[in-house]
């Protein structure tokens, strides 16, 4: 394959560059999300360290516990940030590394439970925080593994050891600190819940925006950009659908090929921008004066196709003649002095077992006849 190779309709070099740009953007977004999560975990560690400082002040635990806990907790955070910023996380499908991160935090909490059982209550409460953060990004299997790991650690602590798990309440300050542990644990769990709710709301809004964008894309794919009428591909599909419906129901199906008379002269005399405005105004006028179940599309240039379901030939002719009068009576001089716009149309009604090509050919013949007879008229076949 040579240098002009094309991938998905795009030259290979451009496609590769676009793919690299998308990859960089995805990694940057993931890194930002991980950084936000790690910031929240760091704030939680700082909260626990503050509570430990109160217990240290009361003499409940040795002074060395606070700096040791800060060193361990923030060591995990700094290491995680360094790995995240280096792109290490992006090598894995789970770019949050949910299980390793949860395991490290559980190990830290349980380790301090064994080391300073005097305040084990605080570290046990931190398990709720760890699991709350984990549930934000964990799938079902990861959540179950985390729960099983925590359960195993707690079984070791309570069943296989005689570690005296304590809730400090000997002095007023200790009781106050213990009360703060409960209050702040519940508060952090609520915050994680609100953060999760905000994430879901953001995802919901993004989903709504994507659905609206998709609807708009589908709409644009069916509409003629200039006039707002259905484009040729769409109106031809609708013709096939209406033919099939008429064959099933036995109801009459009429259609009309409509052409603006002397439109090339309008473009040449008044300019293409004025010609575009004429087409737009004509399409709006037709839309405003047809029935809700009629289908109107741009067949090509200044030629339009109007489908008239459940409409016999005489009624279709009368409807097109009324549209001809409405268009002719518009004040076209508003666009340019002396301008007048009229239409000619060929109307026909489907015969049994007739194809789309055949009925369009008959409508085209009728349109040609209307032009030959002097334009600004309706011919029926």
pLDDT digits (tens, 9 = 90+) for 277-289: 999 999 999 999 9
Residue 192 sits at the vertex; the CA angle it makes with 188 and 194, to the nearest 5 degrees, is 115
CATH 3.30.70.270: which residues of the chain?
232-380
pLDDT in the model for residue 5: 41
* pLDDT over 90 at 181, yes or no: yes
What sign has the CA pseudo-torsion 110, 83, 133, 35?
A: positive
User: Residue range 216-227: average pLDDT?
Assistant: 79
- Rounded to 5 degrees, φ, ψ at 205 are -65, -40
188-193 long-range contacts (CB < 8 A, ≥24 apart) are: 188/44, 188/47, 188/129, 188/132, 189/128, 189/129, 189/132, 192/40, 192/129, 192/132, 192/133, 192/136, 193/132
Q: How high is the mean pLDDT of the chain? A: 89
pLDDT level of residue 299 (50, 70, 90 thresholds): very high
% of the chain exceeding 90 in pLDDT: 60
pLDDT in the model for residue 259: 95
User: Residue range 235-255: average pLDDT?
Assistant: 93
Question: Distance (Å, rounded) from C-alpha 31 to C-alpha 155?
Answer: 36
The radius of gyration of the chain from alpha carbons, rounded to an integer in Å, stands at 37
Question: Distance (Å, rounded) from C-alpha 195 to C-alpha 39?
Answer: 13
Cα 253 from chain centre: 39
Question: Distance (Å, rounded) from C-alpha 29 to C-alpha 128?
Answer: 28
370 with 316: CB under 8 angstroms? no
266 with 275: CB under 8 angstroms? yes
pLDDT in the model for residue 225: 86
For domain 232-380, give the CATH number: 3.30.70.270
pLDDT in the model for residue 220: 66
The DSSP line for 309-369 is ET--HHHHHHHHHHHHHHHHTS-GGGTSTT----EEEEEEEPPTT--HHHHHHHHHHHHHH
Number of CB atoms found within 10 A of residue 327's CB: 21
* Position with higher pLDDT, 10 vs 24: 24
pLDDT in the model for residue 336: 83
Question: Distance (Å, rounded) from C-alpha 174 to C-alpha 266?
Answer: 91
The DSSP line for 24-54 is HHHHHHHHHHHHHHHHHHHHHHHHHHHHHHH
* pLDDT over 90 at 308, yes or no: yes
* pLDDT over 70 at 13, yes or no: no
Place of tokens 């031809």: 236
């Amino acid at each position: 394959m040579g240098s002009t190779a094309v991938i998905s309709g795009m030259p290979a070099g451009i496609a590769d560059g676009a793919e690299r740009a998308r990859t960089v953007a995805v990694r940057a977004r993931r890194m930002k999300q991980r950084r936000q999560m790690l910031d929240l975990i760091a704030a939680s560690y700082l909260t626990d360290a503050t509570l430990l400082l109160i217990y240290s002040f009361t003499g409940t635990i040795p002074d060395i516990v606070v700096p040791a806990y800060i060193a361990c907790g923030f060591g995990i955070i700094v290491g995680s940030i360094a790995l995240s910023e280096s792109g290490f996380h992006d090598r894995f499908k789970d770019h949050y590394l949910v299980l390793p991160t949860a395991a490290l935090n559980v190990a830290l909490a349980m380790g301090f439970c064994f080391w300073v059982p005097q305040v084990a209550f605080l570290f046990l409460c931190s398990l709720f925080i760890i699991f709350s953060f984990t549930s934000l990004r964990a799938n079902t299997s990861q959540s179950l593994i985390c729960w099983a790991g925590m359960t195993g650690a707690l079984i070791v602590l309570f069943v296989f050891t005689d570690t005296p798990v304590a809730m400090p309440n000997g002095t007023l300050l200790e009781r106050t600190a213990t009360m703060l542990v409960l209050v702040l644990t519940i508060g952090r769990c609520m915050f994680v819940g609100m953060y999760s709710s905000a994430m879901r709301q953001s995802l919901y809004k993004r989903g709504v925006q994507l659905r609206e964008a998709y609807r708009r894309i589908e709409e644009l794919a069916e509409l003629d950009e200039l006039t707002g009428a259905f484009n040729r591909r769409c109106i031809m599909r609708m013709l096939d659908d209406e033919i099939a419906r008429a064959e099933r129901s036995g109801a009459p199906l009429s259609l009309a090929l409509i052409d603006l008379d002397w439109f090339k002269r309008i473009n040449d005399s008044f300019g293409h921008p004025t010609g575009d405005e004429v087409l737009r105004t004509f399409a709006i006028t037709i839309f405003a004066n047809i029935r809700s179940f009629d289908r109107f599309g741009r067949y090509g240039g200044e030629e339009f196709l109007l489908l008239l379901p459940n409409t016999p030939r005489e009624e279709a002719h009368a409807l097109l003649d009324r549209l001809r009068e409405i268009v002719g009576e518009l004040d076209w001089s508003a666009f340019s002095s002396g301008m007048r716009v009229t239409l000619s149309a060929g109307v026909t009604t489907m015969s049994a077992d007739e194809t789309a090509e055949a009925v369009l050919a008959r409508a085209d013949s009728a349109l040609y006849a209307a032009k030959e007879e002097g334009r600004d008229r309706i011919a029926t076949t």
